[in-house]
Amino acid sequence: MSDTNIRDRNGDSAVERVDVLVVGMGFAGMYNLYCARQRGLTARAFEAGSDVGGTWYWNRYPGCRVDVDSVQYCYNFSDELTNEWRWSERFASQPELLRYCNYVADKFDLRRDAKFDTRVISALFDEETNLWTVRTDKGDVVSAPYCIMATGSLSTPYKPPYPGIEDFGGEWHHTGTWPHEEVSFTGKRVGIIGTGSTGIQAIPVIAREAAHLTVFQRTPQYTTPARNRPMTSGEQEAFNARRDQWRKEVKQTFNAITDFSPPTKFFHENTPEERRTYLESRWEIGGMPQALMETYKNIGVDEAANSVVADFVRDKIREIVKDSEVAERLCPPSDLPIGSKRPPIDTDYYETFNRDNVTLVDIKTSPIERITAVGIKTADEDYELDAIIFATGFDAMTGSLLAIDIRTSGGASLKDAWSDGPDAYLGLMVAGLPNLFLINGPGSPSVKANMVIAIEHHTDWIMEALDHLREHGLDRIEANEQAQSNWVEHAREVAEATLMPVADSWYVGANVPGKKRVYMPYFGGFARYLKTCEEIVADGYRGFQLSRTGENADTSIVAAQ
């Protein structure tokens, strides 16, 4: 494979030629770059941010931290790295996670092949030359036979288009593009819109600093205490000592997270008193969202089982929040199953509503009408504010991919392919777009799993596919339309057998007006997904077409199903 400068097909601009293009330099992009290099492949990565980190580069809002145990939310590919790094807290904060990303980039000299402050705007596949050509907003033109979209699942912020934002005299920020300079709320009247995982992390921290915080809530969430704490002495060493075993165990789990005693009973096997005691013990342990979601079998599929846990959280809210009206406003509605929106974990979220300087506004019954010069106007009231924070989430899973004009010379495009929903085979490839790989794409466990473990799996799968192609003198891999449809149908059936698609969540794209409603992550479990991927490879890449194109698209199909 080569690394030469060539001219593009029009012959009018010099293009750089590498083996692998990588879009994004978060956890996924960095690992892809590392793996490509390990194989002696030349690679070029582009990143819109000024440095590495992806999610942890952009989301700098107060209170931002991971909700998977730090020791599990990190790379596994290098024992040296594992042994060198120490986490300071059970759930690492954003600054610590960003330090980790920088440490990895330095250690493996990853920035050398990456260009920052550069956004990829298009990717065109030439059917004749078998090359993807990527163009950027800085004028770069780079070609490679393989293109890997490491663009992140939650990286295109969504901000509701309220009229009047340009009139607002104060400052405003979206949590997903938080300024790098310190933002001070001291003495300020702050309004925050959104009570998803982000709002729930930010609200208690901002409330402690601001003169007053007004929380604009559309849908109340179920959240459980994170019980974050400093790592204890020897804790990480003990985890690392059994990391090899853990790497095996994590592959057998539903969400690529271990150390949670899995449910052994159905809820009706316990008396109401036993349930209360059991759920209470899980509430006390706190931690990952599974604390409550994995208490009884079939919480995710059975309404009665689900409502037992949902009611438990509502009771907790009523216990914690002193003002009973505010408590009722914080209680999620009975038609919202617990877990159907991404379950957050928190530090002092409900307690924050006992503070004198915090007001909760229900914008479901009294929607925001506009932003004014001095604040926010709802249907019922005007709120004067010095700062507005949009914790309103992301155009998840598809937003960053569809923002790039991805097409082939044969006339296929990602936009057309996804006009009726984001179909992808295993969430890895899209039929009609050869040699284009998605990391954690729709139809893969992705956001329903520990993202770093899912990233490592996808990357390893892709790299092994590239090895396979090379070893067999091939240069093209493409998902079959039929295999893709079968997979999409399977993923749909799995999700629809549960309560998960019920909520208007970002999992189904309901937060972005006009987005096709599809449950995007694969909800069949990480272990089952891994096994399927392995079987497909063992079966000669079942459902993929592997071929040799050479310069003249002389397609000799080697494996096709």
How many CB atoms lie under 10 A from the CB of residue 121? Answer: 15
Residue 66 tokens read as: 């991971």
Which of 199, 287, 422, 441: binder of ligand NA7 (CB under 6 A)? 199
- Which of 182, 216, 195, 198 has its CA nearest to residue 358? 216
Which CB sits closer to ligand NA7, 306 or 446?
446
Which CB sits closer to ligand NA7, 339 or 434?
339
* Distance set, CA 404 to CA 23, 43, 124, 429 (Å): 10, 19, 10, 16
Which of 133, 392, 459, 498: binder of ligand NA7 (CB under 6 A)? 392
Residue 159 tokens read as: 């901000």
Q: Applying CB under 6 A, which part among 18-26, 196-204, 410-418, 529-537 lies near ligand NA7?
A: 196-204
Which of 195, 224, 444, 547: binder of ligand NA7 (CB under 6 A)? 195
H/E stretch holding 80: helix 79-84
Residue 93 tokens read as: 């904060």
Q: Applying CB under 6 A, which part among 191-199, 285-293, 307-315, 422-430 lies near ligand NA7?
A: 191-199
Binding to ligand NA7 by residue 376, rule CB under 6 A? no
Binding to ligand NA7 by residue 408, rule CB under 6 A? no
- Shortest distance, CB of residue 196 to ligand NA7, whole angstroms? 2
- Which of 472, 421, 478, 417 has its CA nearest to residue 147? 478
- Shortest distance, CB of residue 370 to ligand NA7, whole angstroms? 12
Identify residues 88-107 at the interface with ligand NA7 (CB under 6 A): none
DSSP states of 209-248: HBSEEEEEESS----EE----BPPTTHHHHHHHTHHHHHH
Which CB sits closer to ligand NA7, 194 or 300?
194
Binding to ligand NA7 by residue 506, rule CB under 6 A? yes
Binding to ligand NA7 by residue 363, rule CB under 6 A? yes
Binding to ligand NA7 by residue 198, rule CB under 6 A? yes
Residue with token string 């949009």: 390
Q: Applying CB under 6 A, which part among 115-123, 347-355, 387-395, 526-534 lies near ligand NA7?
A: 387-395
Binding to ligand NA7 by residue 286, rule CB under 6 A? no
Q: Applying CB under 6 A, which part among 17-25, 178-186, 193-201, 327-335 lies near ligand NA7?
A: 193-201
- Shortest distance, CB of residue 10 to ligand NA7, whole angstroms? 42
Binding to ligand NA7 by residue 345, rule CB under 6 A? no
Identify residues 239-278 at the interface with ligand NA7 (CB under 6 A): none
Q: What is the CA radius of gyration of the chain?
A: 24
Checking DSSP bridges between strand 345-346 and strand 224-225, what pairing results, if any? parallel
| Residue least distant from ligand NA7 (Cβ) | 196
**Backbone φ/ψ region at 163: left (φ over 0), alpha (ψ -120 to 50), beta:** beta
Residues 6+ away with beta carbon under 8 Å from 59:
94, 175, 176, 178, 198
Binding to ligand NA7 by residue 57, rule CB under 6 A? no
Binding to ligand NA7 by residue 62, rule CB under 6 A? no
Which of 70, 130, 197, 435: binder of ligand NA7 (CB under 6 A)? 197
d(CA 345, CA 68): 10
d(CA 346, CA 307): 21
Binding to ligand NA7 by residue 448, rule CB under 6 A? no
Asked whether 192 and 203 are in contact (CB, 8 A), the reply is: yes
- Shortest distance, CB of residue 58 to ligand NA7, whole angstroms? 11
Residue 429 tokens read as: 């490839």
Rounded to whole angstroms, the maximal C-alpha distance in the chain is: 76
- Shortest distance, CB of residue 89 to ligand NA7, whole angstroms? 18
14 phi/psi in degrees, rounded to 5: -70, 135
C-alpha torsion sign, points 407, 434, 33, 449:
positive
* Mask for 150-189, x = binds ligand NA7 (CB under 6 A): ----x-----x-----------------------------
Q: Which residues bind ligand NA7 (CB under 6 A)?
A: 154, 160, 193-199, 218-219, 342, 363, 391-394, 447, 504, 506, 511
